[in-house]
Amino acid sequence: MAQMTTAYHAPGLRAKRSFMNRIDAPQIVVLAAAASMIFIVALLLAFIAWQGIQLFVKDGVPVSQIFSSTWQPDMTSPNVSFGLLPFIAGTVFVTVVALLISTPVSVGLALFLSEVAPQWARAIVQPALEIFVGIPSVVWGWLGITILVPFLSSTFGSDINLGLPVVGTLITIPGFLTGFSWLAGSLVLSIMIVPTITSVSYDAFRAIPQELRTGSLALGTTRWQTIRHVLIPSALTGVLTAVVLGMTRAAGEALAVQMVIGNSPSMPAAISQPVTTLTSQITLDMGNTVFGEPWQDALWTMSLVLLIISITSVVLVRLINKRRMGA
């Protein structure tokens, strides 16, 4: 007679996890850190925006006035004006010229390090770029005052005539009377942002799969044709990002530019004339104002304008990259 067996339900072999064991501590720490960074950035943006609009909300200055070219913030003056146009134009023009100078050099250096340079050359140039990044702004400004400004003043002190042999003079550029000028600020900035653009562009070129290089060379193209038709289009998104980072670095620089630019609150008329920028004017006037007065509110408005310029450039590049990726 067969024996009847009954099923025996053994208790669960997996022990119950305690409350502390169910908590994923690393994930919570990472989420808390990310949330805190988002909160801090949002708080800073909101604070700058709120302080930046006090010139219009509290002081009653019309928005159209900041687009004038007259800067006279002293409330004791009969003709008080908070025109920010010279500072905005100076910031944009100085930054654009600095980018025109530094971008070809930086991208070319990144291509050299990525595609041409031997290992020993990379071992020398890359640490040198890191040292360049670590040089304080005041050092660059001091070099500009002691070397660049006297050179411009002594070499190009008279008017510069540009023209053609048959046509004659086409453009006359005023001479560098003192050396403190728009060009001096752009030259100093171009040197300062070369490491930033070079490093990010180098990473963009190195991120391209090696198969694209070997496939292009296997089709019989030269190294230059591969760089021009394969590598540069493939890394264009990263290069544009590098240029934007360099631009924001240049637009936000204050001390080095202030030391060589001349700090003249007037519209940029020639590359040899003194101008000023938003950051330079903020650092010059911040010690002459009292909290809550219109003069200081105008400085906060300058900060807001500078923030809008930076955010606009970043958004614009992202839109361009997204359109390229979609195409």
In a domain, 275, yes or no: yes
In a domain, 102, yes or no: yes
Domain residue limits at 173? 53-194+245-326
In a domain, 290, yes or no: yes
* Distance set, CA 7 to CA 13, 137, 260 (Å): 17, 80, 91
CA distance 59 to 294: 6
CATH number at residue 307: 1.10.3720
In a domain, 236, yes or no: no
In a domain, 43, yes or no: no
Number of domains present in the structure of the chain? 1
- What pTM does this model have? 0.81
DSSP string, 109-165: HHHIIIII--HHHHHHHHHHHHHHHHS-HHHHHHHIIIIIHHHHHHHS-S-EEEEET
Using one digit for the tens of pLDDT, what is the confidence trace for 74-113? Answer: 777 778 888 889 999 999 999 999 999 999 999 999 999 8
In a domain, 36, yes or no: no
91 secondary structure, DSSP code: H
Residue 1: predicted pLDDT? 44
- The backbone torsions φ and ψ at residue 172, rounded to the nearest 5 degrees and listed phi first, read -115, 115
Q: In this structure, are residues 299 and 55 in contact, taking their beta carbons and an 8 Å threshold? A: no
Using one digit for the tens of pLDDT, what is the confidence trace for 254-300? Answer: 888 889 998 888 888 888 888 999 888 888 888 778 887 888 889 99
Residue 273: predicted pLDDT? 86
In a domain, 203, yes or no: no
CA distance 187 to 191: 6
In a domain, 298, yes or no: yes
